Structure 1
């Protein structure tokens, strides 16, 4: 009896996907000067450099090149406290750089709205869509929980609608949905420390008190994103 050996056909080897490099555009020379200033301040205060500002905040400064305290206050990671503590020194450094490089302009970047896919934008903007229904109720002054009750949906779903609308640049009334002031202040400070609204929710959640929920953090993040706006 002759034995046959069957071999499994080899599958065609799939090409490996290359890592997609994330490119960020900012003024490298200004960024390095701001890093040196941050290091000097950190040494004066005897604290780690990131306590002053993290790299994300410095990149945002080097990208948007704020000229005054109002513009500086819109930088990711700059809250009221850090604006008071460090704003003038960083603005002075930026002004000195601009004096030496008078042709410097802010580096243009895509708006927050343009990060989403066209299909998402169409869905969000379509009249009668679930997003537009949520927006209409929120703009009437209802909170996210009230909208959820009215529509028979979960609060998390309503906040997901809010996040989608904000990411597409659609203005929506969020004040009634925000947590009470003491919680809101804690959450904003946590985002400030973590690098701004684009920080990981898990990082923010781990740094706040136990009575603050993920929903609280998500709605505050949406509010911060909408309030900060997108540079053009």
Structure 2
């Protein structure tokens, strides 16, 4: 499973205590005690090791571990123990970390084999076409045809003038219809509009 790094090659020789938990590269440090007399004596510093129960969502249990505060901060940064074990290099994980990584990968393979793929059918609902009977069909009125051809600029001065010419031709006159005739024609065509009447009235009295 781990071709690049064997499990037994991960064990560090100088500090074997780090193989019993997640130490994130922390080891024992050595130095000197320097008093006022400058008489140096050798001493060592051990990493800050804590014993915690960390939750693993893939394993479904809380794993009891010995880990340093640096490893604990890294686990919180990466969003959990599972992400930490899968993304950290083997040199930093140690023997215990690699064992947990192997358990997590085995659990993932087990869930992939057990859980089949779910194929969801499309939820598109097709509505049947219903034909309108000929007895209920109503032909469009002349004003409906003009409304479909009308442009957004119908209420400008040019649009009002073209509307008057259209109403005049519909009434069989050789001249454009007046504002009063146009408003009556719109009312008869069931397309009355207060805005149209106001625009025609203003253009007529301008």
Q: TM-score range by the shorter chain?
A: under 0.3
**Max Rg structure:** 2
User: Which TM-score applies when normalising by structure 1?
Assistant: 0.17
More strand by share: 2
Which has more helix, going by share of residues? Answer: 1
Q: TM-score, normalised by structure 2?
A: 0.19
Higher relative contact order by CA 8 Å / sep ≥ 6: 1 or 2?
1
